[in-house]
């Protein structure tokens, strides 16, 4: 076993030094990115059925048909507009990581919501593969996704997988290889078209960016949109990563406090902002229009490619969801569920605990008898039996049963998809303490561990 591990480590190192291509795994939280990552690299990234498990980029390596690839597992994010640290890590890698190919993983059972991020990424790069995961779940819910049609609409390769089954990833590997080796795109991929007033100003900025900074047209379009969108953290990142002088910060940092007003980009930006304001499009309205158009596009595409054979199933799901996350019943149901779990864990664990105590106690008596029989010195038998053996068996008797009950119960809740609902219910309260509702899950685990002790 040890040798096998060493062999695998040595093989990984060899691939690592020779990796020719870098492939990124991006997507919404909880869509199976880390499951794909683990299956391809043989590594063991944390996976589980709630959002936000991966919080930093993880790198692994794999070999396919004689070529070595570096694979980067990015934290899940709903949007390029980051709201948390892990979303910022994801955004920075998607925007500036410069991988050879970005695989965007989506959940086949809720394609419409996932397409929002896909459309945002198509604004940044055209070397994308769309990986539609959880096809087994979609089949159960009688949802079909027309992958070919989706590929025709978005003009990018689309593959369907069930990440838990390793052999289904072969198509993804094939597509990745093809995309890495033929990077020059002949087709222009799908781009969200905004209303003409917005398109016109985006084009103006795009032309200047291409002329002044020699940036690729599609990236220039995205930067143009972000300049007008005016989200500070992303503008700062564009300035730092691409050395483009957009706001006051760049001038301060790079030109010793001198604000360069002769910069054509800034002049046009000012003019455009004024022009839009005169037309009643403030920064907030501009943002809203971008988001609404994006959501509408995702909705239209999803409508064209998704078929729900069992509408009652989706309706029932939504009904249950409404109850579990409603203001009136959400929290009482959650408290009830948690109390039941804690009760089963604490009361139920007493029986196996007592059983283990009596079994280990009997063995202890036999061990003492044996020590006396072989005339073992008292200090040695006390140290080994009352010191090592008794402490160890007490810990096992107290700790093992509650853990063996709590974790499977929690896994059932996880598989039923209830944990994200708990996070949603608690998000408002946790936000008041500058935290996220997701922390409720770790807090529940913590409470149980504390109760066990
Ligand atoms: N049924 C089924 N479940 C899957 C499949 N792929 C992943 N899962 C499950 O989906 C859950 C989420 O998978 P992860 O790989 O952790 O998802 P992720 O995208 O890395 O999530 P974050 O790190 O939170 O962004 C886990 O419980 C997986 O076991 C699949 O093809 N079918
Ligand atoms: Mg993950």
The closest of 331, 360, 122, 350 to 218, measured between CA atoms, is: 122
**What pLDDT is attached to residue 109?**
92
Position 315 scores a pLDDT of 76
Coil, strand or helix: which one is 248? Answer: helix
Which ligand neighbours the alpha carbon of 29 most closely? 1
For residue 237, report the distance from its CA to the centre of ligand 2, in Å.
Answer: 24
Ligand 1 atom 16: the closest Cα is on which residue? 47
What is the C-alpha to C-alpha distance for residues 390 and 383, in angstroms, rounded to an integer? 10
Residues pairing with 132 in the sheet? 106, 160
What confidence score (pLDDT) does residue 310 get? 76
Strand partners, 128: 102
Q: What percent of the chain has pLDDT over 70?
A: 88
Q: Give the single-character DSSP code of 52.
A: -
**pLDDT > 50? residue 3:** no
Residues with CB under 6 A from ligand 1: 27, 29-35, 47-49, 51-54, 75-76, 133-134, 136-137, 162-164
User: What does the DSSP assignment read for 189-208?
Assistant: PP-----HHHHHHHHHHHHH
pLDDT above 60 (res 70): yes
CA distance 34 to 144: 24
Smallest CA separation from ligand 1 atom 7, residue: 32
Tokens representing 373 are 């029989």
For the chain, domains (ranges, CATH) are 2-181 (3.40.50.300), 196-278 (no CATH), 330-452 (no CATH)
The answer to whether residues 92 and 237 touch, using CB atoms and an 8 Å cutoff, is yes
The stretch 392-402 carries a mean pLDDT of 92
CB-based burial of residue 322 (10 Å sphere; 0-12 exposed, 13-18 middle, 19+ buried)? exposed
pLDDT at 2: 43
User: Closest residue (by CA) to atom 8 of ligand 1?
Assistant: 32
Query: Over the stretch 328-380, which tens digit does the pLDDT of each residue have?
Result: 899 999 899 888 988 888 888 889 999 999 999 999 999 999 999 999 999 99
Residue 6 has pLDDT above 50, yes or no: no
pLDDT of res. 1: 42
52/71 Cα distance (integer angstroms): 19
Cα distance between residue 379 and residue 434, in whole Å:
55
Give the residue, out of 32, 49, 135, with the most ligand 1 atoms within 8 A of its beta carbon, to mutate for a pocket test.
Answer: 32
pLDDT of residue 313: 67
Locus of tokens 């499009």: 281
Name the β-bridge partners of 101. Answer: 23
Q: Nearest 5°: CA angle at 410, between 394 and 400?
A: 10
The pLDDT value recorded for residue 298 is 95
* Residue with CA nearest ligand 1 atom 21: 30
Q: How many CA atoms lie within 13 A of 253 on its CB side?
A: 11
Residues in contact with 338: Cβ distance below 8 Å, sequence separation at least 6, in sequence order = 444
Average pLDDT, stretch 168-185?
Answer: 89
From 41, 163, 167, 418, give the residue whose CB has the most ligand 1 atoms within 8 Å, as the site to mutate. Answer: 163
pTM: 0.78
Measured distance between the N- and C-terminal CA atoms of the chain, rounded to whole angstroms:
35
Ligand 1 pocket, mutate which of 29, 34, 35 (most atoms under 8 A from CB): 35
Ligand 1 closest atom vs CA 51 = 24
The whole-number average pLDDT for the span 385-398 is 94
pLDDT in tens, 312-330: 766 777 788 888 888 889 9
Tokens representing 120 are 């945002």
For residue 421, is pLDDT > 80?
A: yes
User: What pLDDT, on the 0 to 100 scale, is given for residue 376?
Assistant: 92
Reduced to 3 states, what is the DSSP secondary structure of residue 85? helix
Q: What letter does residue 56 receive in the DSSP assignment? A: S
For atom 31 of ligand 1, which residue has the closest CA?
Answer: 162
Ligand nearest to the CA of 45: 2
**Ligand number nearest to the C-alpha of 50:** 1
Mutate to test the pocket of ligand 1, among 28, 30, 82, 86 (most ligand atoms within 8 A of CB): 30
DSSP 8-class letter at 271: H
154 CA → ligand 1 middle, Å: 24
C-alpha span between 46 and 28 (Å, rounded): 16
Tell me how far the alpha carbon of residue 44 lies from the centroid of ligand 2, in angstroms.
Answer: 11
Which residue has its alpha carbon closest to ligand 1 atom 9? 32
| Cα(45)–Cα(188) distance, integer angstroms | 35
Residue 417's pLDDT is what? 78
Ligand 2 centroid – CA 105 distance (Å) = 11
Is residue 210 within 8 A of residue 242, CB to CB? The reply is no
What is the SS3 assignment for 368-385?
HHHHHHCCCCHHHHHHHH
Return phi, psi of residue 123, to 5°: -80, -20
Which ligand 1 atom minimizes the distance to the CA of 38? 15
- pLDDT value at position 428? 83
Residue linked to tokens 């002329």: 211
**What is the per-residue pLDDT for 449?**
59
Distance 31 CA to ligand 2 centre (A): 8
- Cβ neighbours, 10 Å, residue 46: 10
Could you tell me which of 123, 131, 206, 193 has the C-alpha nearest to residue 162? 131
For ligand 1, what atom is nearest to the CA of residue 52? 24
Asked whether the predicted pLDDT for residue 258 surpasses 50, the reply is: no
Mean per-residue pLDDT over the chain, rounded: 86
């Amino acid at each position: 076993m040890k040798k096998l591990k060493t062999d695998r480590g040595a093989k990984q190192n060899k691939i690592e030094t020779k990796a020719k291509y870098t492939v990124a795994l991006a997507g919404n939280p909880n869509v199976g990115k880390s499951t794909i990552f683990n299956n391809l690299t043989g590594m063991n990234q944390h996976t589980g059925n709630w959002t936000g498990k991966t919080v930093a980029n993880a790198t692994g390596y794999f070999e396919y048909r004689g070529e070595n690839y570096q694979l980067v597992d990015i934290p899940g994010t709903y949007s390029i507009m980051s709201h948390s640290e892990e979303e910022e890590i994801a955004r920075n890698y998607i925007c500036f990581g410069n991988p050879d190919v970005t695989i965007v993983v989506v959940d086949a059972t809720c394609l419409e919501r996932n397409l929002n991020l896909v459309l945002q990424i198509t604004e940044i790069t055209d070397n994308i593969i769309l990986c539609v995961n959880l096809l087994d779940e979609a089949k159960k819910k009688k949802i079909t996704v027309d992958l070919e049609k989706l590929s025709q609409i978005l003009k990018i390769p689309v593959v369907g997988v069930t990440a838990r089954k390793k052999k289904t990833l072969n198509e993804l590997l094939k597509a990745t290889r093809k995309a890495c080796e033929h990077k020059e795109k002949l087709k222009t991929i799908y781009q969200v078209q905004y209303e003409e007033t917005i398109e016109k100003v985006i084009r103006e900025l795009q032309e200047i960016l291409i002329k002044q900074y020699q940036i690729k047209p599609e990236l220039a379009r995205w930067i143009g949109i972000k300049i007008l969108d005016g989200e500070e953290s992303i503008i700062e990142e564009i300035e730092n990563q691409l050395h483009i002088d957009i706001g006051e910060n760049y001038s301060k940092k790079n030109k010793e406090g001198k604000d360069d007003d002769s910069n054509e980009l800034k002049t046009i930006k000012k003019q455009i902002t004024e022009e839009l304001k005169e037309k009643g499009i403030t920064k907030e309205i501009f943002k809203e229009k971008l988001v609404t158009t994006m959501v509408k596009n995702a909705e239209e595409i999803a409508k064209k490619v998704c078929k729900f054979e069992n509408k009652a199933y989706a309706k029932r799901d939504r009904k249950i969801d409404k109850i579990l996350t409603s203001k009136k019943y959400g929290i009482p149901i959650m408290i009830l569920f948690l109390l039941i779990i804690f009760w089963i864990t604490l009361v139920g664990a007493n029986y196996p605990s007592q059983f283990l105590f009596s079994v280990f106690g009997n063995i202890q008596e036999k061990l003492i008898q044996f020590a006396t029989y072989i005339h073992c010195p008292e200090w040695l038998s006390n140290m080994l039996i009352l010191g090592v053996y008794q402490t160890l068996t007490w810990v096992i008797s107290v700790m093992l049963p509650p853990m063996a009950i709590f974790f499977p119960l929690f896994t059932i809740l996880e598989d039923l998809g209830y944990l994200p609902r708990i996070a949603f219910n608690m998000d408002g309260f946790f936000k008041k303490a500058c935290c996220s509702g997701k922390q409720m899950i770790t807090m529940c685990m913590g409470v149980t561990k504390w109760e066990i002790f």
